[in-house]
Amino acid sequence: MKNFSQKTKNLIIILTVLALSIFAVSVSWATLAFVDSQDSYSQTKKSTATEQIGDPAKKSRTRAPEPATMVLFSSGFLGVIMSFIRKTYARVKRLFDLLFSITGAIVLSPVMLLTALLIKITSKGPAIYSQTRVGENGKLFKIYKFRSMVADAESKSGAVWATKNDSRITPVGHFLRKSRLDELPQFFNVIKGEMSLIGPRPERPVFVDQFRKEISDYEKRLEIKPGITGLAQVWHRYDENIADVRKKIKYDILYIKKVCIWTDFRILLRTVRVVLTGEGAR
């Protein structure tokens, strides 16, 4: 049934693109034929006037539009359609981000308050901390998270990846990471327009500078807003080394190429499963 639905969806997409292409070619042919008929009419008038004064004249010939011209016209028409689709998708996604984040912040406010209280009771330091991350087009912003590690966890080691049995993670922090509850404060990043619900996870500047040098396609993941969840987050694990980052980049670039409402919906469903089962957590 799943394969049938997928084949049906692909068939609909192919037929839609084919219909648009035929329509674009028809419009281009009609437009160019009209222009050409006007030229023929002008040439006929000139020929008639010439015949009236006794000079020989050749009959005007109707020329079919050149294939290259048709291709240029139709490609331009399809480009306008694709631009409209992208702009519409961006507006719809932003509206969905706002509605979902505001609703989520209100509905989950008791959970967020309880989480903050547990963090304060079990360890020293703030319940919520902010950290500089790199967003869309390289813009820096402050991301908010519930603290899952001891206070000043990187004061001695500097910026490093968390490991599987990281001693810096608090007992409550293990639960927060496994359930992904530590990401809930990022609803406010989404409301502010710094993030989206779905997109590549934002990275710290020190790692971005490193990855730009070591991974050729890394810049591409900065073309859209970062997200709370994403394709790499629901199908991959936390980063532990550069090899993990390279795999994650492939997922991020794939998402950017396939970005659409249906893809976002499937990622949200997969995120619910990951939250409930704790897949990939550390």
List CB contacts of 255: < 8 A, sequence separation 6 or more: 198, 199, 200, 230, 231, 232, 263, 267
C-alpha 109: how far from chain center:
28
In this prediction, residue 88 carries a pLDDT of 81
In this prediction, residue 103 carries a pLDDT of 95
Strands 196-198 and 227-229, bridge-based pairing: parallel
Please report, for the chain, the start and end positions of each structural domain, with discontinuous segments joined by +. Answer: 2-50, 89-277
List CB contacts of 91: < 8 A, sequence separation 6 or more: none
Residue 56 DSSP class: -
In this prediction, residue 52 carries a pLDDT of 47
Alpha helices in the chain (DSSP H): 2-52, 67-107, 109-122, 171-179, 187-191, 205-214, 231-235, 242-258, 261-277
Q: HSE (CB half, 13 Å, CA atoms) of 74?
A: 21
For residue 133, count CB atoms less than 10 angstroms from its CB and return exposed for 0-12, middle for 13-18, buried for 19 or more: buried
Q: What is the pTM of this model?
A: 0.67
CA distances from 220 to 142, 223, 224, 226, 277 (A): 21, 6, 8, 12, 31
Residues of the chain with pLDDT under 70: 1-86, 155-165, 237-240, 278-282
Angle at 133 between CA 175 and CA 178, to 5 degrees: 10
